[in-house]
Structure 1
Amino acid sequence: MRSVHVTGKRLGLREVSAVDVDALHAVYGDPAATQHLPFDPRTRAEVVDIVDEAVAAAQADPRRLYVLAVTETEGHVIGVARLHIEADHPHSAEIGLGLRPDLWGRGIGTDLFRLVLTFGFKELGLHRLWGARSPANTAAQLAMLVAGMVEEGRIRHHVSTPDGWRDSIVHSALSDEWPADRAL
């Protein structure tokens, strides 16, 4: 297993571990943080299962799932980043992010998208990274666009949520369009 430790100007990414459960529950368990996600807030026990799955996935060869703790410069966990490499298209991966709501509106989401994109392109050698967002999540739209992703279009009735079917808006970035000297 190659352990992930990525450092940017304001944020870092590292492997999740059992000590992160409470910090990750602050994201996964928060109704505001999960309002645009296809599930209700998670219980602490469900977050333990997510961390256990992430630790097991880190041992896989080839590794297809990266669930990473998002840290601020002091090392405190403030969110989660997920990168899932597609089995049928191993040069493409879906990304997803979550941050504590008390940190929203500070440009951290944009920085996090840039950090995850740089990790995927430079460290993993991927060609295409993409993410889907709720049409109502305009903050994610802005963060993705400012980070350098392109809006590709709408997938109708893409996600079954507790409130019914929801469309998704897909954004992507390509390695040959990503600046090689982009700073983290």
Structure 2
Amino acid sequence: MTVHLAGPGLALREIEPGDTADLLAVYGDPEATRHLSFEPRTVEQVQAIVDRSIASATDDPRTEYGLAVTRLGDPRLIGYARLATEPQQAATIGFALHPDAWGKGFGTETVHLLCGLGFRTLGLHRIWAARSPHNEASARTLLRAGMTEDGQIREHVFVHGAWRDSITYSLLEHEWAPIEGMGGSAASEAGAA
């Protein structure tokens, strides 16, 4: 299944081999990764993410969706979004945007598009996300997208030489409402919707 989802200002599409440099501009940037669960990535690490995302698109069953975040009408990657399925009709989501794309509502739209993939296309029941306790912008983004704060996972990730907690959020399928202008499809390789 090939994924291409569009919202009012963004689109999510499959990662392509030519996305490495643009993804490095996000994942290699200390500011963009300041609150993520890892330190800035090297070009080799980013290439491995690109390769893994491309390979996972052909897995059957597919359990991981590593997608390029782009501005609508512009195929250039400005961020990376990920949905990974779990047992019990659930998935975890995450995303990172280039700092030039911050403060424009793109984070909220990315979460909406990921939830559309999960609920509308994959038939999931629950989607959850985690953020750094220091990332207040992410808290606002997840709440604006309709998620509910669930709680805190103590010493959840080891990053920058120390254990860090995570604040978790979730959304259930009956709570989700698509944003206006959200379209696109997750289509099969043959192009059928």
Give TM-score scaled by structure 1 length.
Answer: 0.94
Secondary structure of the corresponding residue to residue 2 of structure 2:
coil
Code of the residue aligned with 1:4 in structure 2: it is: V
1:78 is aligned to: 78
How far 1:37 sits from its partner (Å)? 1.4
The answer to whether the Cα contact below 8 Å between 1:150 and 1:172 also exists between their aligned partners in 2 is yes
Segments ≥4 residues shifted beyond 6 Å: none
2:57 is aligned to: 58
Q: Distance in 1 between matches of 2:179 and 2:108?
A: 14
Aligned length: 180
How far 1:17 sits from its partner (Å)? 1.2
Q: Which moved more, 1:164-173 or 1:107-116?
A: 107-116
More RCO (CA 8 Å, sep 6+): 2
RMSD (Å), alpha carbons: 1.1
How far 1:90 sits from its partner (Å)? 4.6
Q: Distance in 1 between matches of 2:88 and 2:10?
A: 27
Q: Structure 2 unaligned segments of length 5 or more: list them.
A: 183-193
The answer to whether 1:9 aligns with 2:13 is no
1:45 is aligned to: 44
2:90 is aligned to: 92
How far 1:20 sits from its partner (Å)? 0.5
Secondary structure of the corresponding residue to residue 141 of structure 2:
helix
Secondary structure of the corresponding residue to residue 118 of structure 2:
helix
Q: Distance in 1 between matches of 2:129 and 2:158?
A: 17
Identity of aligned residues (%): 49
Q: Distance in 1 between matches of 2:117 and 2:67?
A: 11
1:105 is aligned to: 103
> Deviations along 1:96-121, whole A, 9 cap, x unmatched?
00000111111111111111111211
Code of the residue aligned with 2:82 in structure 1: it is: R
1:90-169 equivalences in 2 (<5 Å): 90-169=88-167
The answer to whether the Cα contact below 8 Å between 1:38 and 1:162 also exists between their aligned partners in 2 is no
